A and B are shown apart, each in its own frame.
Chain A
Amino acid sequence: MVFITDQEILETVGMIQSENLDVRAVTMGISLTDCAGRDPRQVAEAVHAKIVRRAGRLVAVAREIEEKYGIPIVNRRVSLTPIAHILGSDDPAAYVEVTHALDAAAEEIGIDFVGGFSCLVQKGFTRSDSALIEAIPQAIGGTQRVCSSVNVASTRAGINMDAVVRMADVIKSISRLTADHDSIGCAKIVVFCNVPEDNPFMAGALHGSGEPEVSVNVAISGPGVVRNVVEQHPEASLIDLADLIKRTTFKITRVGELVAREASEMLGAQMGIIDLSLAPTPAVGDSIAEILESMGLERVGAPGTTAALAMLNDAVKKGGTMATSSTGGLSGAFIPVSEDAAMARAAAEGVLSIEKLEAMTAVCSLGLDMIVVPGDISRNALAGMIADVMAIGMINSKTTGARLIPAFGKKVGDWVKLGGLFGEAAVMAVSGAGNDAFVGRGGRIPAPLQSLTN
């Protein structure tokens, strides 16, 4: 019998009971290559049947694991082969038809989101890609549970600016279509650079072409646990603090490893990856911004924020990689403004700007995420913001994404309630300087040099 001390037992119980430790998501990745075809009805039926067959027990298994270990599993989700890869059609309506099958399957098996209404267009568009992108506004606007992502850039291919501009148009359309709900549809679409093939987090989860038939990917969480450790050591030097964070994230990640092993075995799937991201929720105490503030910043956004975040992000990864040999996904601290109450507060106070968030994304995960911008933002301004985030990912060989919400009819300073885990935030100011001539050039920003990296 392994000896465990009373202190260790109480530490684990305390993490779960008072510090919001949970498993953020158990996401089943399902390959749809055997559902491929040209007839949307046949593809829709095959996809629906496969999701229900392979993930039908996902919710029950997650519940069983929660019960057994006393650890909450917040979300159960499914990620799919990018739909543009399995439906050979140039008719956007065909893609909308398949979306309804995805939505119905997700509802039937009791999950909140299904991801993979996606395509990869960093070098150019196939006819399927074009049709899928055209279908995104209707697909997202007309469903509850479908999430979409489009990869428009990579370190090896550069940035497809034509795709960036098209995605800005798509986001503007979704903003209009879901205007009655503060443009919430925009929260379900991510524009990526270097999209991961095994990401368990929505809205950007997809099941990549290098993945097995079925896999289980697990997203850990626990900002509250890390914040408590930081708070309890106000005198610790930064090097000591980094060590404390590493020890803590080691423990958090081990829980993810346990859940991933157990869930994959119970579901007859290959164990995929553990995503080492610290992901906030709008709940008090479940915030990345609060960790940074506990380090000694009056507000997130103060000078030093990027440095503090860089240290946090690196320590999380170091602790996590010691705990599992199956790291993957996004694996970095998230900075989604509306989903993090303290981040949203700093943004509303004007301490945290979009420019500062852009700097922060250079040292952590995911990019400009859940940022509410004025509803009348121009297509080109939106495209410029997306291009800036893509450039950071491309040059630094990392994943970055943009999830921007132009809140229809809202102006800078207006408060937007997106609801649930999407949280709420004030509309942030975007530079009004024009970029039409730059964006209007179109074409592709070439792949960057991988040496001379200053």
Chain B
Amino acid sequence: MRTTVIVTALGPDSHGLLARVATTIAAHNANVDDVSQTVSNGMFTMIMFVSFDETETTIAELKGALETAGAEVGLQIHVQHENIFKFMHRI
């Protein structure tokens, strides 16, 4: 079954942040379906829609890997199933 999660990353801007997050996602055979990224007053904000097959990885695995990668480059990374956003903002 295909699962879509939303990855949000926040932290001070530096080189290669997007690449670092995307590489970690690719290493888990997950796909970046959509990405938006801004830098404002030196703060990096990125939102990614990421999908993966549950036979390839799990939310917990992806979350663990991204949190570790994020900590190394000073980013706070959150991984959440898309349904929490759908439920909260749409009927």
A residues apposed to B, CB below 8 Å: 1-2, 4, 6, 8-10, 12-13, 16-17, 67-71, 251, 254-255, 257-258
Contact = CB atoms under 8 A, between A and B. Distances in A.
B63 A12 contact: no
A28 B63 CA distance: 28
B88 A254 contact: yes
Contacts of A9: 6, 8, 47, 85
A323 to B, nearest CB: 8
Contact of B84 (A1, A17, A71): A71
Given A69-B80, A69-B81, A257 B45 contact: no
Contact of B88 (A1, A17, A67, A255): A255
Contacts of A71: 80, 84
B83 interface: yes
Nearest to B90: A2
Contact of B83 (A6, A8, A16, A258): A258
B73 to A, nearest CB: 18
B28 interface: no
A10 B44 CA distance: 13
Given A10-B8, A67-B59, A2 B86 contact: yes
Interface in B15-51: 36, 45, 47
Interface pairs A-B: 7 shortest CB-CB: A70-B80, A258-B87, A69-B84, A8-B89, A254-B87, A251-B88, A68-B81
11 contacts: A4-B90, A8-B88, A9-B47, A9-B85, A13-B8, A16-B78, A69-B81, A70-B78, A70-B79, A251-B88, A254-B88
A16 B4 CA distance: 20
Nearest to B81: A68
Given A69-B80, A251-B88, 20 more contacts: A2-B90, A4-B82, A4-B85, A4-B86, A4-B90, A8-B89, A10-B45, A10-B47, A12-B80, A12-B85, A12-B89, A16-B78, A67-B60, A67-B63, A69-B83, A71-B84, A254-B87, A255-B87, A255-B88, A258-B84
Contacts of B82: 2, 4
Given A9-B8, A13-B8, A68 B59 contact: yes
B30 to A, nearest CB: 15
A257 B87 contact: yes
A66 to B, nearest CB: 10
Most chain A beta carbons < 10 A, residue from B78, B83, B88, B90 = B88
A8 B84 CA distance: 11
Nearest to A322: B91
A59 B47 CA distance: 31
Contacts of B78: 13, 16-17, 70
Contact of A12 (B4, B59, B79, B88): B88
B61 to A, nearest CB: 11
A17 B85 CA distance: 15
A6 B47 contact: yes
Nearest to A16: B78
B35 to A, nearest CB: 11
Given A9-B6, A251-B89, A70 B84 contact: yes
B52 to A, nearest CB: 13
Contacts of B60: 67
Contacts of A2: 82, 86, 90
Contact of A6 (B36, B81, B84): B36
Nearest to A70: B80
A310 B50 CA distance: 43
A257 B88 CA distance: 9
Nearest to A252: B88
